[in-house]
Amino acid sequence: MLDLLILSIWLMLPAYIANPAAALLGGGSPIDMGKNFTDNKRILGDGKTIRGFVLGSLCGAIIGLIQIWLAPSIAPYLAAYISQGILLHASYMALFTMPVGALLGDMIKSFFKRRLGFERGAMMPVADQLDFVLGAWVLTYFLDGAWFMSNFNFAVILTIILITPVLHLATNFIGFKIGRKDVPW
Ligand code: CTP
Ligand code: MG
């Protein structure tokens, strides 16, 4: 159980880091350049900035790179019941697709939030918590399907779907408390 939990967080870390890193380091020009969509509402809104996207992705990739370096020494202690090779098969492609996919997923969600009339920062349960998981998985699946399939088995996927909302809400609450987020979700 604990192995599965640690493994799931380990695999998702580059994607998990991207969001709070974007919140901490974001700001400046919004990706949609302040423009409205055909419904006269913002395309994405001020919560999606170029700096947040770039620096968030970069932080996720750097964490992933550190993980690839650490993996050979950590793998023997993890997930003995899965395959020993699981963490040793590194993917440099995933360093890119996990954080970038995460923030793309977050961005696509904002697009639909605006279309549905949610203001920037408004809570949208489930979508707010799993958007970046789905984005990371879809992009990774398409660009390094072999790595995705060898790491994300059913148990891992289920664990991630269950723990991500909890981790996400906890992170956002901390972000709110330290004044980096306007709302605690
Ligand atoms: N952020 C950013 N650039 C991104 C993603 C996030 O600058 N690409 C920053 C913004 O300051 C944003 C904060 O991280 O307000 C929190 O992100 P999120 O909760 O995803 O955005 P919201 O402000 O809630 O906007 P939305 O309603 O569109 O989800
Ligand atoms: Mg939000």
Nearest one of 27, 34, 14 to 181, comparing CA atoms: 27
Q: How is residue 123 annotated by DSSP?
A: -
Helix (H) or strand (E) holding 92: helix 92-115
The reply to whether ligand 1 has any atom less than 6 angstroms from the CB of 26 is: yes
The whole-angstrom separation of Cα 42 and Cα 46 is 8
The reply to whether ligand 1 has any atom less than 6 angstroms from the CB of 23 is: yes
pLDDT at 2 over 90: no
CA of 63 to the centre of ligand 1 (A): 20
pLDDT tens for 54-84 read 999 999 999 999 999 988 887 777 655 555 5
The confidence band for 112, taking pLDDT boundaries of 50, 70 and 90, is: very high
Best of 48, 57, 126 for a ligand 1 pocket test (most atoms within 8 Å of beta carbon): 48
Output the six-digit token pair for 42.
Answer: 């913002």
Residue nearest to atom 24 of ligand 1 (CA): 121
The reply to whether ligand 1 has any atom less than 6 angstroms from the CB of 52 is: yes
The reply to whether ligand 1 has any atom less than 6 angstroms from the CB of 49 is: yes
Exposure class string for 58-73: b at 16+ Cβ within 10 A, else e: ebbbebbeebeeebee
pLDDT tens for 148-172 read 998 999 999 999 999 999 999 999 9
Entry pTM: 0.94
pLDDT at 86: 61
The confidence band for 87, taking pLDDT boundaries of 50, 70 and 90, is: low
CA of 39 to the centre of ligand 1 (A): 21
pLDDT at 85 over 60: no
pLDDT at 140 over 70: yes
The confidence band for 25, taking pLDDT boundaries of 50, 70 and 90, is: very high
